[in-house]
Structure 1
């Protein structure tokens, strides 16, 4: 490589950093040093384990003094090094969470690991990654799926696990969290909205639960309409090169390729490209089949309106008190059935809307899960309509309004077991 080529490459790296730094400066940055050493957290018990990470309940003593607090700690499994996409997702989730501050989004506390080790070579960087953990607020009320499962158990009881008023309150909280993501600069597409990723925080002395968004491993930062939509440089940088001001996180991100050299993994290298219509060539089939927008399943270009589709499904499940996946695949977890159902939805099928859901909410669900993304309302409109409806509580008890075709099995508070 001659001097001219080296200079060009250096210039591109600097320009990449400047582009992203400028595009992210209106998101709330944390300026304090939030790196943690492994001995600052003490495991209490394991909360769950996935294919690539475990989540533990831990005790954490803040460095500024005060008593120990309970936190949720997400740790990479050794197998993470065999999957580049999941590794990048973990690093990007950490980098994104440190910038998010909203009541209805799970709070970021810090990221830790063997920070004293050099990240300049693959061997030491691998050791750092093996010790890396993400520390978040411990949300002690479980997730929203648990609440809806309880409601399913009360389907034929006069007294429900939660009321329609409570369901509406949770829906508004979810919508406000999503509004924060969609109206941030740059805009953030969640891409993993589902009941399991809505955690329930205890408030008012534990008497109430409020919903907050969690798990941003699949989130994508979308460039604005004026941010060089056809720039190949920006497309490359969006994947995993967003500077945060945290040397450890940025070092992890830059060290990923070196660590995985020789694994011959197939992974999209270019990141999202952008069309003139504001939709993006993001990774297809991202998220859960049961909440997946048609354009995502079909590997078409999409934007934050895919989240609106998923939100419509969340509204449906929460108001109906039923979980689609339970009806489709049952306890066996038949993924073939899930794929068939997702394909049917992508082709235009929607679950019947029961008549006990008030008409304005039925209309909103129908618009949110519209086949064409352009027909789905923006999240700002969704919040406004939900809030207006909440301020007219008589609509919740004044009856359902007009019946919808195919609702007969749902009129007594059960969504029925017929799926397709």
Structure 2
């Protein structure tokens, strides 16, 4: 739900036309059955039951959902705090037909993206992947709880319900520690969390395609969990089936920026940028426009500058992950092994700019 502004790509509006054919067929079939069921109440009950069964795997009971205050806002809707069946949750509400400004084709594409996200997410089970609880598409039983009582929602509202993670986005956590920086052991542990989550996704043949610190959330113990599968897709057996600029400025691999075929190694590249960001608590290429970054990354092999105080073991992981040649990048399970082998007992964290650049690289108490 990233805002679109100069020099940035908003992931939730990209690549909707190239959604998996299987998911598009599923969407069309499910909605056709639902439409026919409403028009012909006495039609074949077997067909209606089949449509219901298709959605039972991930559909929530709206009567068990309490929607509370807003956590974040975006073009297509909002993310709210909530409670589902007694559990704290985050609720992503999407409204695609607002005031009739969108065409039927646009709404169909957005619904297809919604179905894609649900189809990918509901099957996943890993400690470093945000837990999916359920979803509903076009339910009339949704209400938002306010100080003045309950407000009913339009029937075209759809929602995704996931576990609530009180630590917020990893990006925000890094910004808070921009001056002080993070202790080396914290950097490596967070990197391990993210790499293990991505390794799991890749083992399930899922390419996230928008790996960035804004899409990583923290629980109360500061464990990193991957979120936002809005542009994720099952990896195609034919690499040429996966093309198009999908992702976010600064994290996109050269082959993605180029519009060339790509595979799961685009996530490995993005992980390398995230690793640099976790170590430095800074943004990659803050002063460059989209076109400048695209040109420099692809043609001049531009990468973030690794600080001299960064231990070689960690710097090596960054460099291998963001190699211009996807074939030379490691698989994520190899990245996990490399990170597990790093010794954090002697420190090695980033030195704040306002501190002496001497032996402070090894101060164990730096960072939270």
Asked if residue 288 in structure 1 is aligned to residue 312 in structure 2, the reply is no
Deviation of 1:300 (Å): 0.3
1:328 deviates by 2.2
- Partners in 1 of 2:69 and 2:287 — Cα distance? 32
Determine the C-alpha separation between the residues in 2 that align with 1:73 and 1:380.
31
The structure whose RCO (Cα within 8 Å, separation 6+) is larger is: 2
Q: Structure 1: which 5+ runs fail to align?
A: 1-12, 18-29, 63-67, 118-126, 155-159, 204-208, 225-273, 330-336, 401-409, 415-420
Alignment of 1:372 with 2:329, yes or no, is no
Match of 2:76? 52
- Measure, in 2, the Cα distance between the counterparts of 1:115 and 1:398: 49
Change (3 A) 1:296 1:140: same
Q: Distance in 1 between matches of 2:55 and 2:159?
A: 20
Gaps of 5+ in 2: 1-21, 27-53, 142-153, 362-368
- Cα deviation, residue 396, structure 1: 3.5
Shift of 1:56: 1.0
In structure 2, the residue matched to 1:183 is: 203
Following superposition, the deviation at residue 283 of structure 1 comes to 3.9
Determine if contact 2:80/2:92 at 8 Å carries over to the other structure. yes
- Residues 254-312 of structure 1: per-residue CA shift (max 9 Å, x gap): xxxxxxxxxxxxxxxxxxxx2xxxx2432411010110000001100000000000000
Shift of 1:112: 2.0
**Mapped contact 1:328–1:338 kept (Cα < 8 A):** no
Superposition pairs for residues 294-373 of structure 1, below 5 Å?
294-324=254-284, 327-328=286-287, 337-347=289-299, 348-373=301-326
Structure 1 residues 79, 195: closer, same or farther in 2, change over 3 A?
Answer: farther
The equivalent of 1:131 in structure 2 is 157
Q: How far apart, in 1, do the equivalents of 2:257 and 2:96 lie? A: 30
Match of 1:140 in 2: 166
TM-score by length of 2: 0.71
Q: SS at the partner of 1:55? A: strand
Q: Distance in 2 between matches of 1:103 and 1:134?
A: 19
| Separation (CA, whole Å) in 2 of partners of 1:399 and 1:213 | 24
Contact 1:97 1:108 (C-alpha < 8 Å) held by counterparts: yes
Q: CA deviation at 1:320?
A: 1.3
* 1:399 CA displacement: 11
Counterpart secondary structure, 1:146 = helix
| 1:163-205 per-position Cα deviation (integer Å, ceiling 9, x unaligned) | 1110110000000000001112xx11000100100000113xx
Residue-by-residue CA offset, 1:354-396 (whole Å, 9 max, x unaligned):
111110111111110011111111111101111111xx33454
Q: 1:353 to 1:43 in 2, by over 3 A?
A: same
Aligned CA RMSD, in angstroms, stands at: 3.1
Partner residue in 2 for 1:214: 227
The answer as to 2:124 corresponding to 1:100 is yes
For 2:166 and 2:274, locate their aligned partners in 1 and report how far apart those are by CA, in whole Å. 21
2:211 counterpart of 1:193: yes
SS at match of 1:328: coil
**Counterpart among 341, 352, 363 of residue 388 in structure 1:** 341
Instruction: Count how many residue pairs are aligned between Structure 1 and Structure 2.
Output: 289
Residue of 58, 77, 90 corresponding to 1:72: 90
- 2:188 alignment partner, one of 147, 150, 168: 168
Give the whole-Å Cα distance in 2 for the aligned partners of 1:358 and 1:344: 26
Q: Deviations over 1:108-144 (max 9, x none)?
A: 1111245699xxxxxxxxx86x132111001110111
